[in-house]
Structure formats: structure tokens, C-alpha cells
């Protein structure tokens, strides 16, 4: 099972959980399952088309990836704001 690590505001939307263990073969599957377990996150990380939002970065074991990347069973995922989206 992969571990996904969350910071605010996603942590708050996930009931205060900093780490969640989730099964999934791809980043997209893991994030969909995250939405399923914590519906308040729906739309925050993935857009209508299941794509990671443009100004977010997802890292799997330290490597920046997109939604179609493979996830090993013992992988660690981070979802972090990119530096490009914060100051409109």
C-alpha cells in the first residue's frame, strides 16, 4: 500500500490526516481513491478530466510525476503546491 502525505489545506479536507495509506497502481488511481475516502478533496487535486491541476506537483518517491505514473506498493506520494500558482 502506498502512503500519501498531505499538508494544509488538503490535510484539513482529509479530516486532519497527514498520512493516508491507499492502494492504487497509478497516481490517478491513488488520487481517485483519496477523493472517494475524503469527498471534500474532490476537485482540489484532480480536475474534471482526472488530470492533476496545473499548479500542483505530485511526487512519487521524490520524483515529480503526473497522473499516469506508476505507483509501487511501498511508494510515498506528496501533493504540493507548485511555485507557479500562488500569487495571481
Partner 1 sequence: MTELLVGTKKGLFALEGDPGAEKPFEVSARAFPGDAVEFAIRDPRSGRYFASVTSGHYGPRVMYTDDPGGDWEQTTGLAFPEGDDWSLERIWSIRPGEADGLMYAGVAPAALFASTDGGLTWELNRAMWDQPTRSSWQPGAGGLCLHSIATWPGDPKRLAIGISAVGVWLSDDAGETWRHGNAGLVPRYVPEDSQGDTIDLCVHNMHRAPLRPERLFMQFHGGVYRSDDAGQTWNSIAEGLPADFGFPVVLDPADPDSAFVIPLVADTDRVTVDGRVRVFGTRDAGESWTSLSDGLPQDGAYLTILRQAFDREGEGRGLGLYFGATSGDVFGSGDAGASWFTVREHLAPVNSVRVA
Provide the binding-site residues for partner 1, judged by CB under 8 A: 9-10, 40, 42-45, 47-50, 53, 55-56, 81-82, 85-88
Tell me the three-class secondary structure of 54-69, residue by residue. CCEEEEECCEEECCCC
Name 88's bridge partners: none
Rounded least distance, CB 35 to partner 1, Å: 12
Overall size of the chain counted in residues: 88
> The dihedral of CA 38, 40, 12, 50: what is its sign?
positive
Nearer to partner 1, 55 or 74 (CB): 55
Q: Give the shortest CB-1-to-partner 1 separation in angstroms.
A: 25
The nearest distance, CB 22 to partner 1, in angstroms, is 19
Amino acid at each position: 500500500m502506498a502512503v500519501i502525505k498531505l499538508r494544509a489545506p488538503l490535510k484539513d479536507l482529509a479530516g486532519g490526516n497527514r498520512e493516508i495509506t491507499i492502494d492504487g497502481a497509478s497516481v490517478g488511481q491513488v488520487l481517485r481513491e483519496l477523493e472517494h475516502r475524503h469527498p471534500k478533496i474532490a476537485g482540489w487535486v484532480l480536475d474534471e478530466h482526472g488530470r492533476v491541476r496545473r499548479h500542483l506537483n505530485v511526487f512519487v518517491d521524490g520524483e515529480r510525476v503526473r497522473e499516469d505514473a506508476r505507483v509501487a506498493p511501498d511508494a510515498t506520494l506528496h501533493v504540493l503546491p507548485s511555485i507557479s500558482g500562488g500569487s495571481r
